[in-house]
Amino acid sequence: MLTGAAPIAIAVLCTTVQHSVTQISHNPQDLSMLPIGNIHHSMSMKLLVYETNSGRRPFVEWLERLDGQRQASVRRRLRAVEEHDHMGDCSSLRGGLYEMRLAGRFGLRVYFADIGGAIVLLLGGSGKSDQTRAIKRARGSLKDFRERNSG
């Protein structure tokens, strides 16, 4: 389980866009929750976590491997995205994949796709040292997402 602040719900994508969001309770024991801050839904940006066909969530797996200080840094940044639609320092990696660079000494990156301008699909993350491998995995995740949600 992630450490730190009160939980904020990030929905998990399922197989199809029409049925893409799993309803998430605000129960702290709910494994579908990703604790990253307090819940405020005054803005329109929604954070969704990519889920593989086998049920893996690469972004969550990466985040859970981080120490508490690094997790807190990621949670603060994602809270700014959801609460204020503030993406901060981001760049396009082409093909619909983006990199969100977190300020600070950790060199953390979050890889995501913009789905329709109101949804941020969280695909994975990395530190500066393993970013090449992480970008390759995020590209594969985005490709899989698109294939399973086309038509």
Whether 10 contacts 21, CB under 8 Å: no
Structure tokens at 68: 């508490």
What was the pLDDT predicted at 146?
A: 93
CATH of the domain at 50: 3.30.2310.20
Q: What is the pTM of this model?
A: 0.73
Judge whether 21 lies within some domain. Answer: yes
Establish if 6 belongs to a structural domain: no
Examine residue 4 and state whether it is found in any structural domain, yes or no.
Answer: no
Q: How far apart are CA 71 and CA 65, in angstroms?
A: 9
pLDDT for res 85? 79
Tens digit of pLDDT per residue, the chain (151 long)? 334 433 333 444 332 232 233 332 233 333 333 433 333 333 467 899 999 999 999 999 999 999 999 999 999 999 988 887 778 899 999 999 999 999 887 899 999 998 887 789 999 999 989 999 999 999 999 999 999 988 6
pLDDT of 61 reads 96
Range of the domain at 83: 11-148
What total of structural domains would you count in the chain? Answer: 1
In this structure, is residue 19 part of a structural domain?
yes
Q: How far is CA 75 from CA 60, 91, 135, in A?
A: 12, 19, 20
Strands 97-101 and 109-115, bridge-based pairing: antiparallel
H-helix or E-strand containing 71?
helix 68-84
Residue 2 is assigned to a structural domain of this protein: no
Distance CA 16, CA 21 (A): 9
- Kindly state whether residue 1 falls inside one of the protein's structural domains: no
Per-residue confidence (pLDDT) for residue 151, from 0 to 100: 62
- Is-contact 124 62, C-beta < 8 A? yes
Burial zone of 50 (CB within 10 Å; 0-12 exposed, 13-18 middle, 19+ buried): buried
Among 138, 137, 134, which Cα is nearest to 108's?
134
